Amino acid sequence: MPSESTVLRVFTQCVQALRDSVFINRQSRQDKEFHFQNWVSERLKETGLYCEGGGRNSYPDFRMVNFAEGYEVKGLAYPG
């Protein structure tokens, strides 16, 4: 039986990536937030949880399969 939420597992994977020095890399100056979405997408894959990625302009950015949850990802112009 799945747990009721994916939040802790996803958050833990993001923290582990930062501890492992897997940082967000912006591909170009025109890339306003896709670099962050790409980074989160990789973290979601690492959890082993299934999600459906929406298009670049759909809401939410990632819809979890088998859970009534989704993740909308927003990034800063200058990650800090």
Residue with the two structure tokens 């990650």? 79
Please indicate, yes or no, if residue 79 is contained in any of the structural domains: no
Task: Count structural domains, the chain.
Answer: 1
Residue 2 confidence (pLDDT):
54
**pLDDT tens track for 47-65:** 999 999 877 678 899 999 9
- Quote the distance between the C-alpha of residue 71 and its chain's center: 7
Residue among 35, 76, 44 nearest 63 (CA) = 44
- For 19, the domain range is 7-23+30-71
Please indicate, yes or no, if residue 48 is contained in any of the structural domains: yes
Residue 76 confidence (pLDDT):
66
Query: Taking 90 as the threshold, does the pLDDT of residue 43 lie above it?
Result: yes
Please indicate, yes or no, if residue 76 is contained in any of the structural domains: no
Query: Taking 50 as the threshold, does the pLDDT of residue 1 lie above it?
Result: no
Instruction: Calculate mean pLDDT across residues 23-45.
Output: 84
DSSP element (H, E) containing 40: helix 34-47
pTM of the model: 0.82
Please indicate, yes or no, if residue 12 is contained in any of the structural domains: yes
